[in-house]
Structure 1
Amino acid sequence: MIYCLTGKVLKKTLDTVVISCAGVGYLAQVPLSTAEALPAPGKEATLYTVMSVSENDVSLYGFATEDQRACFKMLTGVSGVGPKAALAILSVMSPEKVALAASSGDHKAFTAANGVGPKLAQRIALELKDKVGKGLAAGTGFAGNVSAAPAPQSAPAQAVAALVSLGYSTSDAAAAVARVDDTLPVQDIIKIALRGLSRA
């Protein structure tokens, strides 16, 4: 199992990256967001990977962050979601947006991804609702994983955790936070979300 690759970026397209590690060039399929986040060819980068081995194929999927990698694994765990659909979702949604959409039951958000129809979108929201809700409620962000050196929590995850601690359900809190601009400071997100919740 290849967990991550660190090396020089040899080639980069919108959906693939070739990264050279110890003289071997690894081709990884990536979501658009990862391709945009990686440096230009010639520079060094780290790619978090998922290796898929089937009867006829060995594929490597690469991600800019561990959260994207965890999100990809969670998405492909949903029946009917293959690697292509998971990459399409991660091309248009951050792991945080996936978590917020799933925990608030907003299946329409997933239809923005190429090849994801309404039925599949509903299944994704339904199957992931409890899984991602626990992570958001615990304030640990996407997938509920706390790494050895945790990155600063995202503002939406902190806002959802704060609202849950005030007594709101995870799905209500996530739905309220999903309607707020996630670039705002945590306090502002909480205030705006609380206003929305008080009107509901």
Structure 2
Amino acid sequence: MFYYVEGRVALLEQGLAVIDCGGVGYACHTSQNTVGKLKIGETARLYTYLYVREDIFELFGFGDAEELGCFKMLISVSGVGPKAALAILSIATPSQLALAIITEDSKILTQAPGIGKKIAQRIVLELRDKMSKGQLEGAAGKAAEAIAVPQKGTVNHTQEAVAALMVLGYSQAEAFLAMEGLNTAEMEAEDIIRQCLKKLATQ
């Protein structure tokens, strides 16, 4: 129904941003990562998701399409609702979340309020399972072939970055194109993912 809302930031609270669009204030539930990027009185654009369940009608908004994508991905996991998804996105950026899923590091997710060990493990398992074993192996193999990395251990960073971008919905080809011009030999996986997301967001 809504792709994004754009207007003046009228109010900021924990987990909430009100965007004034032509005199109408849209209350958007959001992550603290997004709240931290906004300033009252300035113009902002939030990419939105309308959550409708029985008598619930809520609008969620995020500072970029990547965070919105992660939100949708998280609420697709059984037992994970919008509040839990926001809690996770408040302590982890899209690149950190994708990397945690690829490396099966559920501990970072338990740092979010209300996210216990079991639900964190379920998130990692279900989202990682969305990518077949063949896709993961293909991402790793193609990354090793396509990108020359002299330093020991950096190939793994590249493999993780490609696989993490695929978890976020990008193709292998898009991941490789986004890596062009990056000095991946000197970068950690999270840095590679972050730079690629910036490039992909402008395409």
Fold shared by both chains (TM-score > 0.5): yes
Query: Given residue 101 of structure 2, which amino acid in structure 1 is its aligned partner?
Result: A
1:23 aligns with 2:23: yes
| Aligned position for 1:80 | 79
Residues 142 and 21 (structure 1 numbering): CA distance in 2 closer, same or farther, change over 3 Å? farther
CA offsets 1:62-90 (integer angstroms, 9 cap, x no match):
11110000000000000010000000000
CA offsets 1:88-127 (integer angstroms, 9 cap, x no match):
0000000111111011111111101110000000000001
Structure 1 gap ranges (5+): 159-183, 192-200
Structure 2 gap ranges (5+): 140-160, 190-203
| Aligned position for 1:186 | 184
Residues 185 and 113 (structure 1 numbering): CA distance in 2 closer, same or farther, change over 3 Å? farther
List structure 1 segments (4+ residues) > 4 angstroms apart after TM superposition. Answer: 132-136, 138-142
Root mean square deviation of aligned Cα: 2.8
User: How far has the Cα of 1:185 moved from its partner?
Assistant: 5.8
Query: Given residue 116 of structure 2, which amino acid in structure 1 is its aligned partner?
Result: G
- Determine the C-alpha separation between the residues in 2 that align with 1:190 and 1:113: 24
User: How far has the Cα of 1:138 moved from its partner?
Assistant: 6.3
Q: SS state of the match for residue 128, structure 1?
A: helix
List aligned pairs for 1:27-66, cutoff 5 A. Answer: 27-38=27-38, 40-66=39-65
Identity %: 41
1:143 aligns with 2:168: yes
Residues 95 and 190 (structure 1 numbering): CA distance in 2 closer, same or farther, change over 3 Å? closer
Q: SS state of the match for residue 168, structure 2?
A: helix
TM-score with structure 2 setting the length: 0.70
Query: Given residue 185 of structure 2, which amino acid in structure 1 is its aligned partner?
Result: Q
